[in-house]
Every structure is written in C-alpha cells, then in structure tokens.
Amino acid sequence: MLVTGASRGIGLATAERFARRDDVEQVVLVARDSPAFDAAVAHLTEVASPAVKVWPYRLDLADRAGVLELVDQVHATHGNVDVLVNNAGYTKPEPVHQIDFAEFERTMAVNLYAPFSVIQGLLHAGNRFSLIVNIASTAGLHGRSGWLTYSASKAAVINMSEVLREELAIYGTRVACISPGRTATDLRRTLAPEEDPTTIMQPEDVAAVIEMLSTDVGRFVDSTNLVVRQ
C-alpha cells in the first residue's frame, strides 16, 4: 500500500494501522524530507509486523515531474500498489483579497493535482488498484470564510473521486473519498489556532475508517464521499 503525507497526522496513523497488519507486505510512505518524517519511519519500522517492509520516499508533491518519476520508481521497485491513500494536504488560509495566486496554485498542486498524478501515473505504469482512498474534507462540502483555496481544492477532490469511481470500476478498483471533520493535527492548528485539540477527533479515528475500507466489511461501504466527524 502507498500513503502520501505519512510523516504525521492522519497519514502517519493510517500507515501505522496498515504496517501492523499480517496481510500487508509493503508500506510505501511519501512526505517531504524532515526530522519528523525520519522519526515517523523509525517508529513505523519498529511497530510493523515482521512480514511488513516500510519504504520512505522523500518528495514535495507540488513537484509534478517529481511525482511522475516517483510513481514509476515505486511501481518498478515494489510492484503493484493495491491500496493507495492520497492523504497529503496543504492549506494557507487567507481572505480572498489577500490570496497570492502562487499559493492557490500550490494548494491545488498538493491537494488535487498530486493525487490525480499519482493515480494516472500508476495507471500508465499498468497498475491495478484494488482500492483508492482520497482524503477530501468537510471544507469541500461547505465553504468557510478564509478557506477559499483549501475548500475549492477539496471540493474538486470529492468530484474527481466520483468520476474515478465510475471510470475505474471496470478494473475492479473501488474508489472512496473521505471527508473528515475537525481532527487534531498540525493542519487543523493552522486553520483553527485557538481550538483545544483534545476536544476534537484524533488522527487515529480517521485512520480506523480508512483502514476499514480495505477490509471485507469495507467492500460493502458504498460511498464516494464518506463524512467522518464527531
């Protein structure tokens, strides 16, 4: 399986759930190079079940050429990616008058174009997914003041997932989209700095739902946009 944004938050919690399983062979992680990512990789390697190998890839997902190189490398090195979790996300909340267009482009690159490029790149490499989970947000359903770029990117992720679900069904691929509500992570702190993180959902709660989709029970969950919130 492959999870992007695996250095912390929901992505790290998701990677850990898969790494602890006995029926998983390889967990491929993507995030930018950082001490946090090094620590995450060390932790996952320690807690992984003996059959599981953990493989980190360090990349800025806003770099589209890099993403395409990465997916080719992953497919050539590790074989077929059965489960893909497009989790990495970025936001810089600003009111409309202050939005720097380059920031809007960066938000779209990380939140929308990277998931698209990972999926399309792997399809071009001949990959056959069993499950793709794209992480959107309740912000993609209801725009919030100051969150224009983030909300727009997540609305697009929800819609892209619906199209992919229809187009990839023929290959036996299930495509799900999860829209978490408020979850105690660094990204949430950026959006709501005053909030007490102990009063909201924890990353492990969302990770449990993502993992559930990959189980036998998950096959019966028919939703492109599953809202997960407290």
Smallest gap from residue 55 Cβ to ligand NAP (A): 15
Interhelix angle 114-124/64-78, rounded to 10 degrees, is 40
Position 167 contacts ligand NAP (CB under 6 A)? no
- Could you say which of 180, 211, 225, 226 contacts ligand NAP (CB under 6 A)? 180
Q: Which stretch binds ligand NAP (CB under 6 A): 66-74, 115-123, 176-184, 215-223?
A: 176-184
Write out the DSSP string of the chain. -EEES-SSHHHHHHHHHHHT-SS--EEEEEE-S-HHHHHHHHHHHHHS-TT-EEEEEE--TT-HHHHHHHHHHHHHHH----EEEE---------GGG--HHHHHHHHIIIIIHHHHHHHHHHHTT---SEEEEE--GGGTS--TT-HHHHHHHHHHHHHHHHHHHHHGGGT-EEEEEEE-SBSSHHHHHH-TTS-GGGSB-HHHHHHHHHHHTSTGGGG---SSEEE--
90 is catalytic: no
Of these residues, 57, 90, 113, 150, which one is catalytic?
Answer: 150
Position 62 contacts ligand NAP (CB under 6 A)? yes
Position 213 contacts ligand NAP (CB under 6 A)? no
190 vs 215 by CB, closer to ligand NAP: 190
Position 32 contacts ligand NAP (CB under 6 A)? yes
Alpha carbons 227 and 225: distance in angstroms, whole number: 6
Please answer whether residues 117 and 109 qualify as being in contact, where contact means their C-beta atoms are separated by less than 8 angstroms: no
- Could you say which of 107, 149, 183, 225 contacts ligand NAP (CB under 6 A)? 183
Under rule CB under 6 A, which residues in 87-106 are in contact with ligand NAP?
A: 87-90
Position 182 contacts ligand NAP (CB under 6 A)? yes
Q: Which stretch binds ligand NAP (CB under 6 A): 9-17, 93-101, 124-132, 215-223?
A: 9-17
Q: Which stretch binds ligand NAP (CB under 6 A): 64-72, 82-90, 161-169, 213-221?
A: 82-90
Smallest gap from residue 110 Cβ to ligand NAP (A): 5
* Nearest C-alpha neighbor of 90 from the set 7, 14, 201: 7
Q: Name the site residues for ligand NAP (rule: CB under 6 A).
A: 5-11, 31-32, 34, 36-37, 60-62, 87-90, 110, 135, 137, 180, 182-183, 185-188, 203
What are the residue numbers of the active site? 150
